[in-house]
Amino acid sequence: MTSYLFTGGRFLDPRHDRLRGGVDVLVEDGRVKEVSETPIRASAAQTIDLGGRTLMPGLVDAHVHVIASLVDVAANAALPSSLAALRAARIMNAMLMRGFTTVRDVGGADYGLVRAVDEGLIDGPRLVISGKALGQTGGHSDFRIRSDDRPSVFADRVGALGRLCDGVTEVRRAAREEIKAGAHFIKIMANGGVASPNDPIHALGFSREEISAVVEEARNAGTYVAAHLYTDEAIRRAVELGVHSLEHCNLIQTETAELAARAGAVAVPTLVAYEGLALEGSAFGLSAESQAKIDTVRRAGLESLDIMRRAGLPMAFGSDLLGQLQKYQSMEFAIRERVLPRNEIIASATTVAADLCMLGGQVGELSPGAHADLLVVDGDPYADLGVLQNDGARILAIMKDGRFHKNQLA
């Protein structure tokens, strides 16, 4: 594999809050080989003069659904699996072209898609998956309308985000099946949701016993549970029961945020999901029931960022967009910028999200031994997060595992 020597640019280390000049980076065999403030000599490497542009780690989105090609998640679940998989490939490619070299899929993607990326069949980000999200009957994984009493919700199809399980025995089996099938962590629906028809936002998903059982299964497998959560009560319960990754958290209050921080949990706000749904959701088939639920969580979103920051609860970058709204992925940067400092937003989409993917040191930073997942951007993200928006227009080069997927540097 070609080795590359990047020189003459500015270097972004997410653990600092400003760019550094005079840093050379050598990439070899798909990995970062050397990072040095003194010039690196590597005669065999292809030298790339950055001309003052910024070299930074590839971005990590910790909350996506790559198989969601439709906003209407029930219709999505009913898609033929071949079609859902091919559409997922296109969605994943678009994510990579926005600069996301790693994504964590929290409901839907399977081991087949992970393999397809690894084998080079899909030009997409590396995938960290939960498999199907576990949900109770009538909860956020249950997309049947009230009068639909068929037992199946196409949970075996590629296009299904989740599966139903009820009772301690069933949730244990479901967690074990997902892990056996290649899930890196387990996702549960522990609160009502917007896109599902029958569960109000305040509904608690699963009993304490069921959640404890899933947490135990995940720990037995050396991993953790991520939970879909909005209300303060649901978040507090999840933290008490050992859930590590707290998705959304729009309605969190200070005491619970402090409790979560002490427990070592990580929050994954996904504010752009509600912006996207509010902007265009109904045009793409979002039901009236769902439309009515958006405002409850949308208005509290920005305040939740401030609450979590003050409590010292780490936040990872998440987008959670469905179907035709996936194009808004990078807008999450602009939304967070209204409340959070830029360096913290950059950390959320690099080091913090990498840790949540259990890939700390491997992605989200350019240090020796890490995957050569990197971006060259035209500008300073610490001064202007706009460089990461507009579908990667100002991202001149995108490299994953030492291979260019975009290169306009020449």
Contacting residues toward Zn ion, per CB under 5 A: 320
Residue 105 or 365 with smaller CB distance to Zn ion: 105
Residue 234 or 370 with smaller CB distance to Zn ion: 234
Check: CB of residue 122 under 8 Å from CB of residue 90.
Answer: no
Residue 31 or 140 with smaller CB distance to Zn ion: 140
Least spacing, CB of residue 203 vs Zn ion, in Å? 16
- Which residue has the CB atom at the shortest distance from Zn ion? 320
Token pair belonging to 2:
């070609």
Least spacing, CB of residue 63 vs Zn ion, in Å? 6
- Please list the alpha-helical segments (H only) found in 98-138: 111-118
CA–CA distance, 61 with 336 (Å, rounded to integer):
14
Smallest CA-to-CA distance from 259 within 238, 276, 277 is with 238
Residue 7 or 76 with smaller CB distance to Zn ion: 76
CA–CA distance, 38 with 58 (Å, rounded to integer):
24
Token pair belonging to 349:
């989409």
CA–CA distance, 156 with 30 (Å, rounded to integer):
35
Residue 320 or 365 with smaller CB distance to Zn ion: 320
Least spacing, CB of residue 270 vs Zn ion, in Å? 7
Least spacing, CB of residue 65 vs Zn ion, in Å? 6
Distance of CA 128 to the CA centre of its chain: 9
The C-alpha angle 60, 64, 69, rounded to 5 degrees, equals 135
Least spacing, CB of residue 281 vs Zn ion, in Å? 14
Token pair belonging to 82:
């071949």
Least spacing, CB of residue 50 vs Zn ion, in Å? 36
Least spacing, CB of residue 322 vs Zn ion, in Å? 8
| DSSP H or E segment with residue 101 | strand 100-105
Alpha-carbon separation of residue 135 from 23, 74, 95, 215 (angstroms) = 48, 14, 27, 14
Residue 45 or 188 with smaller CB distance to Zn ion: 188
Least spacing, CB of residue 208 vs Zn ion, in Å? 23
Residue 72 or 320 with smaller CB distance to Zn ion: 320
Alpha-carbon separation of residue 34 from 28, 212, 261, 366, 397 (angstroms) = 9, 44, 34, 9, 19
Residue 104 or 126 with smaller CB distance to Zn ion: 104
Which residue(s) pair with 251 in the sheet? 231
